[in-house]
Amino acid sequence: MSLRIALLPGDGIGPDVTYATVEVLKALESKTPELSFEFHEQAVGAAEYLRSGSPLPEEAFEACRAADAVLLGAMGLPDVRWPDGKEMTPQIDLRERLDLYAGLRPIKLYHPDDSPLKGYGSERPIDFVLVRESTEGLFSARLNQADSGGDESRDVMRITRRGAERVCRKAFELARKRRKKCTLVDKANVLPSMVFFRRIFDEVGEEFPDVTREHVYVDAMALFMVRKPDAYDVIVTENMFGDILSDLAAGIVGGMGMAPSGDVGNDCGIFQPSHGTAPDIAGKDIANPVATILSAAMMLDWLGHADPADRIESAVSRVLADPSKRTPDMNGKLGTAEMTAAVIAEL
């Protein structure tokens, strides 16, 4: 049975890393008789808005909904904005319209040389997953119109019982499969919405007596991720906090080019690198494809193909075991095509 994958290359370096990842998947397909792909490419993003007037045409949305999974490059350009000044974020539209409530952000250090932190590696591994609630929180205010003529503007953080319960349950389920520790990041010492979130986290946690749970304030977590990142297994948090912390976390393992992600719901999943479109390096064969390649491995695992997913992740790990094999964002000299070829060779 073929896996139907909606392919959304998007803007900037999105096509560079997406097509590189398709090469890896096709190489995997050629070596795996039980695995086949149907790629259905769709035009989305800022460039599509300039062409058709919509960054997310309805045809593209329906293709995503009909697919087994979605592989996305990156969307948006800094100079292409809505009339109210906000950037186009069709990827957030997809999360909300498809109810992809759990943003999974794995953070793993593959080689000690890639971290600005000293003393981390095989003896002290950095290996945790940040689970970001992706449909509400502070982002729920994003569609409000800015009051350009007044003296005040407000964004409301929305936390619902349904939203908090399901993302916390996803985090505990994931922790149960890993090292059985789940950490809530909140600001319950100040914000009533975070007190509510913490209470629901603890209620859900009672269903998982084998999983250790703890609470950390978001400002403290920004410190602890730098001071003791090896202390964490699964971290769950609100949408905006997760947006900020996932970038910090990427920075301790080599940067955004090393940060895969998946946004999943009960029926749909979108997998993409955590980085943006980086239009200044688009088309120059220097973008790091590793985050997108690892996102494809996450996609396969989510689709129930754990062995092929492990083969991709293992191939990436073997490539990165050689410190000379790095793209320019990691102070290396390999181009996008060369890094992709190196991963394929290790398959």
Per-residue pLDDT in tens (0 to 9) along the chain, 347 residues: 799 999 999 999 999 999 999 999 999 999 998 999 999 999 999 999 999 999 999 999 999 999 999 999 999 998 888 887 778 788 889 999 999 999 999 999 999 999 999 999 888 999 999 999 999 998 887 766 666 667 787 888 999 999 999 999 999 999 999 999 999 999 999 999 999 999 999 999 999 999 999 999 999 999 999 999 999 999 999 999 999 999 999 999 999 999 999 999 999 999 999 999 999 999 999 999 999 999 999 999 999 999 999 999 999 999 999 999 999 999 999 999 999 999 999 99
| Among 247, 264, 281, residue at a domain's last position | 264
Instruction: Say if CB 300 and CB 312 are below 8 A apart.
Output: yes
10 and 43 share one domain: yes
124 and 200 share one domain: yes
In angstroms, the CA 274 to CA 289 distance is 11
115 and 244 share one domain: yes
Residues facing residue 159 across a β-bridge: none
Which residue in this structure is represented by tokens 């097509």? 19
Residue 299 in domain:
no
pTM to 2 decimal places: 0.94
Q: What is the pLDDT of residue 335?
A: 98
Number of structural domains, the chain? Answer: 2
In angstroms, the CA 56 to CA 117 distance is 40
83 and 178 share one domain: no
Q: What is the pLDDT of residue 152?
A: 81
Q: What is the pLDDT of residue 145?
A: 67
117 and 211 share one domain: yes
64 and 114 share one domain: no
CB atoms within 10 A of CB 255: 20
Return the CATH number at 22. Answer: 3.40.718.10
Q: What is the pLDDT of residue 149?
A: 66
Q: What is the pLDDT of residue 148?
A: 62
Q: What is the pLDDT of residue 147?
A: 63
In angstroms, the CA 329 to CA 332 distance is 7
20 and 82 share one domain: yes
In angstroms, the CA 51 to CA 59 distance is 15
39 and 68 share one domain: yes
Which residue in this structure is represented by tokens 């319950």? 188
In angstroms, the CA 130 to CA 100 distance is 15
8 and 71 share one domain: yes
In angstroms, the CA 232 to CA 113 distance is 21
In angstroms, the CA 110 to CA 126 distance is 9
| Among 264, 297, 315, residue at a domain's last position | 264
Domain residue limits at 181: 102-142+157-264
133 and 259 share one domain: yes
Tell me the H-state helices in 278-346.
290-302, 306-320, 336-346
Alpha carbon 238 to its chain centroid, in Å, reads 14
Q: What is the pLDDT of residue 128?
A: 98
| Among 210, 237, 264, residue at a domain's last position | 264
Q: What is the pLDDT of residue 142?
A: 73
